[in-house]
Structure 1
């Protein structure tokens, strides 16, 4: 069973969204773009236990907490509903038996539900059976409470204008599981209703006699005998209570128990303990390290997936939290190979690289409207290139607002240093806002030939693009046009090689001081740096260029940029960075209330 479409209206931070899926899906995007809200919406519509909370929804589940329409004075405001619609295909036999009368048809190529007048198209391979569900939530003014329920969109047996509710039993057959980041683990191995362990027991059809036996043993446990110092206090309470209430029970009227002796209370208090090493006693599962906790939860999920191999739809937030890269890759691999469909949110390149670009959705949000774009639709890169560069900063750039693409390793190390110097020493040029806050990230293209393709890729994703590359007098007009089309700021330097740029544009005295420092520190011995500065500045510049080329891996250009005077930084570099800062949209800062008050006082001062 798989989700092929999700529509959201007025839910949390999403005013509206319409998303289409093709199997496993990875959601990527900046913070607060709506990734978690999408997973929560799926849970609200498909999760068997989500709507059983009390209350199922509240004020802040509505977009901007607006659940009533504005009304004129004296009129009753009308509720604003939240609505989540999900379309499911490939229903299991169990779902077909329970929901056959609610089936509709999904047009495979056009990716839509057929209308009632399109019965002639309701045949494979043109169309396949589907279920359309909608969860509707609203404020009920008569009851003064919020209500939410999931319905079949096609309800032929319901009264006119009504829809048939989707029962909890049917939702269990959908097999939807949602692992929230850092939220499920502490309860996953409890026996509360709806936890992973509870789901496993119910899926296996196990009815445990644990409750009856445990309650009997706890009732017989004499806690008071192990704490004789408490007995006088209890007897004193009994005597004082007897002055007002007749205590006719034989023996002591008060007694201590470790539980309320009900199965519901035991479900909440019974804890799973775990020992991980030979020198460690068992401790509550929730007290284990976060990485261990998350990995253990995944082990539970694997049990469920194996119990229902054909009907597990799994949503997971940020599987990379507190686990090392190898475990991240194993988690992603498990989800992709052992679930019928997985929805994952992530910022980790080790997770992102495991998903096909065609299954990776880059989310964006504008005025509450969430839209998505397949990474594979961003032309420029092959799938192989995408996976190859995923760990090289590609993912970080995708999640930002601007990509600063450089062709060589030296400038990849040096330009961020120059940008940091500009941020610290020239607020007029930067607007007082660092590049990382503005959402711009440096990216190493791995060579001149890759510059056009990466610029095109990032620009197609909607990012601001900035290209910085060497002079090449033999560059073809076709390549020049491709570079100009790929970058919002297309900056070709006046030098062949970044090391030559640095050697030619920085003062010779600054370059010599750096070379002198290398020699005295025992670095670059093979360069033969003389003890005294050559009289000819050209010789200094030539030696500096050779040194910088030999020290690419050591980051010597970046060191030079860190240690020199700000005024000595290369003109071309600073000109390019100024254009970057100028082109990046600035974040509007709220005025300081104290400053506003002072301005108002000055304005009102008659002097």
Structure 2
């Protein structure tokens, strides 16, 4: 059983949205883009215990907080899910509500397929939905789930009951919020779910524990004085009330009800510490380390998957407080034991465990949510995808803004320069990281346009810095990215040497020699104090050219003041910040960004 399509209207930050979800998926996108909202929407439709909560929804669950129109009509939240890959038992159970889904066209058929159809792409599907709205008569918010087929004579639908939802096997784990109570026995906890699935246990646990607790003495030793105090209270009360109104007050460990025990019972685990007598000390589960809690939570999910056999997992950020190798084991373990696993994540270690078609990049524009499969990036072959995706593409998939650089030297240099400017002028300049910009190395100017097209298709804002280009290449890049920044010359080493302050360049050159970092194969042009400016600049130009890609240009820029850096580098960084932070509408390629960078007509403002 798998969710293949999800539609959302008027729910939280999503005014409308439609997602096609692959067999297994990881949802990525900037913070507050709607990843968690998608999982919450699935929980409203499929979660067997979700509608038992009170309130089911509230004012803030409606898009822009609007749950009534100007004429007093209720504005509903509507969520629709289509479920496919049904088991034989599920097909029998939901037989009266089945429709037909064409996997190839990603759409429902208007009617049942023709008899004896040979279309391999058509299969039975279940369409269910949630509707939530404000009830003016009750002054409350209500919500129900229904089968969306067939429509009854009175234009209503059959209720999609809790028992029906349990057959779908949907589980939603909010890792951070669920971890501390996962091994409690509160209703809806993971341990409670596991016990419910083992019906033969029949929850005799409560009767046994209650019987023992009723007999457990609490502070009854005379020396403690508790009973003397309670007797005094009893005598004082009797002076005002009938004698039979209060009798024999004493302490017990709790209210001795099932609900009290659910809240107070806790699983204890060995902490690794030992007492003086050599016995091992155990502490409550929630007092363990965050990583231990989350790992154990996910282990319990695996157990649930094994018991349910056909389960859909929705899981937020499984990487929290868990090392990379454990993240990978968790992802593959949960995915291998479930019919469908849907994750949200900000971890490249999680992303690289999915093929590109399973990475769903979410974007939201004016309340409209959409999701685009990442697909294979240009210049990356499927067989090398996994080895390159983390270092070159995952960070960019997780960001909202992308800076494409022509090569490794610029990839290191621009972030380093931005961090240095932020360090020197924190009130004026921000680092690229603070601006939410991920930097990607195109490795060649011929790939800049291809990468720009790829990331813009995924809804990213794309900047690019590159050397002077031939006209056809320049036109391709300008058409592919939002903000192209072209240098007036070839070679980033020329941008550095020709644009940097000479005193800073000389200082850095002589320091390289002192530190023993000048390359032996360039000994013939090793910087000397007696060199002319022309000789030293030529030596440094050759140095930067020979050590491309090892961070030397970034090291130099990190040692400069703003005035010592090449003006072009400073202007491009300022222009990127200006474009991102401008409060008015910015039109790409419209005008120069103040202060004007070199070749300003090619800079979008």
Q: Smaller-chain TM-score range?
A: 0.7 to 0.9
* Alignment partner, residue 57 of structure 1: 57
* Alignment partner, residue 159 of structure 2: 165
Residue 225 (str. 1) matches residue 220 (str. 2): yes
TM superposition shift of 1:579: 4.5
Q: Distance in 2 between matches of 1:424 and 1:224?
A: 62
* Cα deviation 1:184-218 (Å, max 9, x = unaligned): 11121111222111111222223132111110110
Q: 1:314 to 1:231 in 2, by over 3 A?
A: same
**Pairing of 1:101-250 with structure 2 (within 5 A):** 101-116=96-111, 124-155=119-150, 158=152, 160-205=154-199, 206-225=201-220, 228-248=224-244
Q: Distance in 2 between matches of 1:115 and 1:542?
A: 73
Q: Distance in 1 between matches of 2:445 and 2:75?
A: 55
Gaps (5+ residues) in structure 2? Answer: 275-279, 586-605
- Do 1:94 and 1:173's aligned partners in 2 also have CA atoms closer than 8 Å? no
* Alignment partner, residue 367 of structure 1: 366
Does the residue aligned with 1:291 lie in a helix, a strand or coil? helix
- Do 1:329 and 1:350's aligned partners in 2 also have CA atoms closer than 8 Å? yes
* Alignment partner, residue 272 of structure 1: 267
Q: Distance in 2 between matches of 1:301 and 1:447?
A: 45
Q: Distance in 2 between matches of 1:409 and 1:24?
A: 34
Q: Distance in 2 between matches of 1:389 and 1:269?
A: 49
* Cα deviation 1:436-495 (Å, max 9, x = unaligned): 4443322223344543432332232233333333458xx7x7655544443344445455
- Give the TM-score normalised by structure 1: 0.87
* Alignment partner, residue 602 of structure 2: none
Q: 1:531 to 1:109 in 2, by over 3 A?
A: closer
**Pairing of 1:9-158 with structure 2 (within 5 A):** 9-71=9-71, 77-116=72-111, 124-155=119-150, 158=152
Q: 1:263 to 1:462 in 2, by over 3 A?
A: closer
- Do 1:105 and 1:122's aligned partners in 2 also have CA atoms closer than 8 Å? no
Q: 1:173 to 1:410 in 2, by over 3 A?
A: same
**Pairing of 1:333-344 with structure 2 (within 5 A):** 333-344=332-343
- Do 2:419 and 2:430's aligned partners in 1 also have CA atoms closer than 8 Å? no
Q: Distance in 1 between matches of 2:518 and 2:233?
A: 86
Q: Distance in 2 between matches of 1:140 and 1:497?
A: 67
- Give the TM-score normalised by structure 2: 0.87
Does the residue aligned with 2:320 lie in a helix, a strand or coil? coil
* Cα deviation 1:57-114 (Å, max 9, x = unaligned): 222222222222223xxxxx22221111111112223323332111111122222222
TM superposition shift of 1:219: 0.3
Residue 539 (str. 1) matches residue 535 (str. 2): yes
Does the residue aligned with 1:169 lie in a helix, a strand or coil? helix
TM superposition shift of 1:49: 0.4
- Do 2:415 and 2:432's aligned partners in 1 also have CA atoms closer than 8 Å? no
* Alignment partner, residue 462 of structure 2: 465
TM superposition shift of 1:36: 0.3
TM superposition shift of 1:276: 4.3
TM superposition shift of 1:424: 6.6
- Do 1:379 and 1:460's aligned partners in 2 also have CA atoms closer than 8 Å? no
Q: 1:484 to 1:553 in 2, by over 3 A?
A: closer
Q: Distance in 1 between matches of 2:564 and 2:531?
A: 20
Q: 1:380 to 1:487 in 2, by over 3 A?
A: farther
Q: Distance in 1 between matches of 2:122 and 2:504?
A: 72
Does the residue aligned with 2:350 lie in a helix, a strand or coil? helix
Gaps (5+ residues) in structure 1? Answer: 72-76, 590-607
Q: Distance in 2 between matches of 1:22 and 1:8?
A: 17
Q: 1:525 to 1:138 in 2, by over 3 A?
A: closer
Q: 1:531 to 1:368 in 2, by over 3 A?
A: closer
Does the residue aligned with 1:275 lie in a helix, a strand or coil? strand
TM superposition shift of 1:426: 7.9
- Do 2:313 and 2:342's aligned partners in 1 also have CA atoms closer than 8 Å? yes
Does the residue aligned with 2:440 lie in a helix, a strand or coil? strand
Q: Distance in 2 between matches of 1:91 and 1:224?
A: 58
Q: Distance in 2 between matches of 1:61 and 1:572?
A: 47
**Pairing of 1:499-518 with structure 2 (within 5 A):** 499-518=493-512
* Cα deviation 1:510-537 (Å, max 9, x = unaligned): 2211122233344437465868523422
Aligned residues: 576
TM superposition shift of 1:166: 1.4
